[in-house]
Amino acid sequence: MTEWWRDAVIYQIYPRSFQDDDGDGIGDLKGIARRLDHVAALGADAIWLSPIFTSPMKDMGYDVSNYTDIDPLFGTLEDFDTLVERAHDLGLKVIIDQVISHTSDNHPWFEESRQDRSNPKADWYVWADPNPDGTPPTNWPSVFGGPAWEWEPRRRQYYLHNFLIEQPDLNFHHMPVQDALLETMRFWLDRGVDGFRLDTVNYYFHDENLRDNPPNPDHEGPDTYGFQQHLYSKNRPDNIAFLKRMRALTDEYDDRMMVGEVGDGGETAIRIMAEYTAGRDRLHMCYSFEMLSPEFTARHFRHTIEGVHDGAPDGHSCWSFSNHDVPRHVTRWLKHAADADLLASQAAAMLMSFPGTICLYQGEELGQTETELVYSELTDPPALRFWPEVKGRDGCRTPMVWDDSPHAGFSSGEPWLPVKAPQAARAVAAQQDRSDSVLAAYRAVIAFRKSQPALRWGETEFLDLPEPILAFRRSHDKGALTCVYNLSRTPATLTVSDDAALAGPSRATLEAATLTLPANGFAWLEGKPRLDA
């Protein structure tokens, strides 16, 4: 096996917002296939498609009602086959989202399960009796607010939903559930997909004894979910055995992979990423929300990478700065930058230097910023419920911008989310032929990464330099690169040894023994020169 995924650059496509070819204002598979040249020209190795399965769209496809068909909004199975063929012709692998911790309440499995306690699907979901006073069986909260339990009068029981009420949790302690889900994955493997992104992979199992979660004394913020330490509602040790079953399935096929989303933060996320990728019989790699946070310090990036490596030296990580669930990183980190474009270019260079697999989110290569929306434009359930303290995820999901035609070339119809002027100004066409554009910077650093074995496969050693300087070495065989980043809007200088020499598309100057990093500057230095603050 080639294990192509170990150094891959994966480009995440949010199908609703990439390209609409039928004019209904919602992106589709034909549109994605037509725009894949852009992804290939960027230098990516694979695409990850957010959910495209049949769904009532209560949570934009993360509530699946049929795991083996395409929602008509996006097209047909034949359209999917054509997309896969086009991607493979361009040298792009295809990864699809698997949302198997829960289904839609419209899924036939749940419609049968909720009828009574004796039907063939009675145990396929997490059901529990009420407390004597009628209250839910545990104190577990939903990520989207309120309790994680909903009453079903037909069974006179509660069912678990870690997310929306319309997203009941499957019972992974029931082996027929595991078997059925593995068969749905086999369906797509047989259809030619190259891998899976596993949504909320640490939520699959719950504590069968239904113990209450303890409080989290460190919680700050507007959400109620963070008030607890989620010891019993997720992160259960039972999950490892099922991950091994999934790995055994993908190992039946050549060159397939799985990347798990760990829906957690802090030390817990680092520990779980390590556990889930240890050895060669679990997930191929994981990512958490650590790199998707507002924190922009050398210590944070170093601690996250070292923590995963120390926890699972034989494991593998996937790193990204933006995705469909968090504000775009240019907006999150802008207070640390002199200019949005400088920040975007630095972030690209930094991400391409990290060990492991890299994931980019559509529009990131344009330096795209978060869209400011008003309440009447929202579609995201948490924002609709908790506005204005919770802005929701719509701001990072607005359509891709291609050119200066109406709706930035995304659709001939009214888009499902608006394209606003600040975002439209960053269109592909406006950057395509500019050597100083963010798009050009992304293409350059991706190409540089691919040309450097040290960046693709090298060992990583962090250097002890004071904030705001992040520095580390990547070494492979006899080759090495020293990577240096100024994470601030103030220029910085370092003293370097005489053997220092700039490499690649660095944004710094090197004169005699002085390396000067401008605001949000970065440098790749050949070999292992000495650096001093």
Catalytic residue annotation = 199, 252
d(CA 354, CA 522): 14
DSSP string, 434-489: -TTSHHHHHHHHHHHHHH-HHHHH-EEEE----TTEEEEEEEETTEEEEEEEE-SS
Tell me which DSSP letter residue 281 carries.
S
What is the helix, strand, coil percentage profile of the chain, to 5? Answer: 30, 20, 50
CB 520 within 8 A of CB 346: yes
Strands 492-496 and 531-532: antiparallel
Closest CA to 314 of 350, 339, 347, 281: 281
Given its phi and psi angles, is residue 363 left (phi above 0), alpha (psi -120 to 50 degrees) or beta? left
Number of residues assigned to the chain: 533
CB 493 within 8 A of CB 514: yes
> Which residues, in sequence order, are CB contacts of 133 under 8 Å at separation 6+?
none
Sign of CA dihedral 266, 267, 268, 273: positive
Distance of CA 30 to the CA centre of its chain: 23
d(CA 62, CA 100): 9
DSSP string, 314-353: T--BEE-S--TTS--HHHHTGGG-S-HHHHHHHHHHHHHH
Q: Which residues pair with 13 in a beta bridge?
A: 49
d(CA 173, CA 154): 23
CB 341 within 8 A of CB 367: yes
Location of structure tokens 């069912």: 159
d(CA 467, CA 491): 13
Closest CA to 155 of 194, 192, 129, 184: 129
CB 10 within 8 A of CB 322: no
CB 357 within 8 A of CB 317: yes
421: tokens are: 């002027």
Tell me which DSSP letter residue 506 carries.
E
